[in-house]
Amino acid sequence: MLDYFPQYLFNGLLIGTNYALIAMGLTVIFGLMNIANFAHGQFYMLGGFIAYQLTTTLGLNFFAALVVSVVVVTGLGILLERTIFKRLRNKPLISSVLVTIGLAILIENLALVLWGARPEAIPNPFPLTPVQIGPIFTTQPRLFAVVVTLAAIVIIHLLLHYTRAGKAVRATFQQQEAAALVGIDIELIYSITFGIGAGLAALGGVLLGTIFYVNPTMGDVATLKAFVVTILGGMGSFPGAIVGGLLLGIAESFGTLVSSAYKDAIGYVLVILVLLYRPQGLFGKA
């Protein structure tokens, strides 16, 4: 069993990076706008399906489809922020939760109507021949996914810390009123941040569709996982989303050794435990 330890670890990291991608967007939206977006997973799903649509019906090159899909969903995110989420900002919790749930149902069932309930894989140029790195067996699509995710995380980090726009985002994050006073366009920051969060989720969806497949109901599970990771890592914490995502992925991976049916329950039990003993999560503020 222990021989497989590195394999399980790698698998856990693989799925963990995917979780991190979805969670990053959610945690940032929460930290900035204090809105719990239950429709977040739909961006994940849409990313996957748009890429699928582009590669199959339009015959677009895989990499181009990936980029286009992320851009489209980012744009959709900005649109939704301007129309719906803007109105939710100072409303009570029940409004934002129920509106986003309504939105999730709407988008998911629209997707069901458009694409049917069958899972689809995104055609990609990677051969499925196994690749071996030391004791670990994997495939090219999976390696691609990990590399892209890590690249995305690094890019976001660089953008946040070394560009003016990034600093503006961080400033708004920490102290909105002060940021507004120094002339930062808060509305723009909100829209862009929301859009990027959606785009990150979409990227996750495309990558998943490359490794496995996408189906219109995957948004629900994605939303739940995103919330689990966000609570584990701390709502509003970027590093929390990454570390939390990896931890959840690894925990679930090793959890399949015990029981693969209850693998998903691991995250939920962790959530309840965290809420009992450390409600702010790993990196959150008390």
Partner 1 sequence: MLLSRLAFWIAATLFVLALPFVLGEGYHLHLLIMATIFAIVAAGLDITVGYAGLLSLGHAAFFGIGAYTSALLFLHFGIPMWGGMISGAVLAGLAAFLLGFLILNVRGHRFVISTVAFAEIMRLVANNWTDVTRGQRGLPGILPPVIDLPWGGSINFVSKTAFFYLAVAIAVICIGIMWRIAHSPLGDAFIALRENEHLAESVGIDARRHAIQAFTIGGFFAGIGGSLYAHYVSFVGPDLLNFSYTTIFLVMVVTGGMGTIIGPVVGALVFTLLPEYLRIAEGYRLIIFGGILVLVMLFLSNGMIDIWTRLRNWLRRMSPTTGAQSTDA
CB 42 within 8 A of CB 219: yes
CB-side neighbour CA atoms (13 Å) of 203:
28
C-alpha closest to that of 147 among 66, 216, 256, 44:
66
Quick one: DSSP state of residue 122? P
Q: Does 163 bind partner 1 (CB under 8 A)?
A: no
- Does position 286 bind partner 1 by CB under 8 A? no
Residue 22 touching partner 1 (CB under 8 A): no
Separation of alpha carbons 208 and 226, rounded Å: 15
Contact by Cβ (8 Å): 205, 44: yes
The least CB distance from residue 270 to partner 1, in Å, is 9
Nearest to 21 by CA among 210, 149, 209: 149
Q: Counting contacts by CB under 8 A, is residue 89 touching partner 1?
A: no
Among 56, 95, 163, 175, contact with partner 1 (rule: CB under 8 A)? 95
- Among the listed residues 36, 214, 229, 242, the single contact to partner 1 using CB under 8 A: 36
Asked if residue 43 lies in contact with residue 212, where contact means CB atoms within 8 angstroms, the answer is: no
CB 241 within 8 Å of CB 228: no
Instruction: For residue 206, state whether it binds partner 1 (rule: CB under 8 A).
Output: no
5 binds partner 1 (CB under 8 A): no
| Residue number with CB closer to partner 1 (122 or 232) | 232
* Shortest CB 96 distance to partner 1, Å: 8
Q: Which residues bind partner 1 (CB under 8 A)?
A: 30, 36, 84, 87-88, 93-95, 97-99, 101-110, 112-113, 220, 224, 227-228, 231, 235, 261-262, 264-265, 267-269, 271-272, 275-276, 279
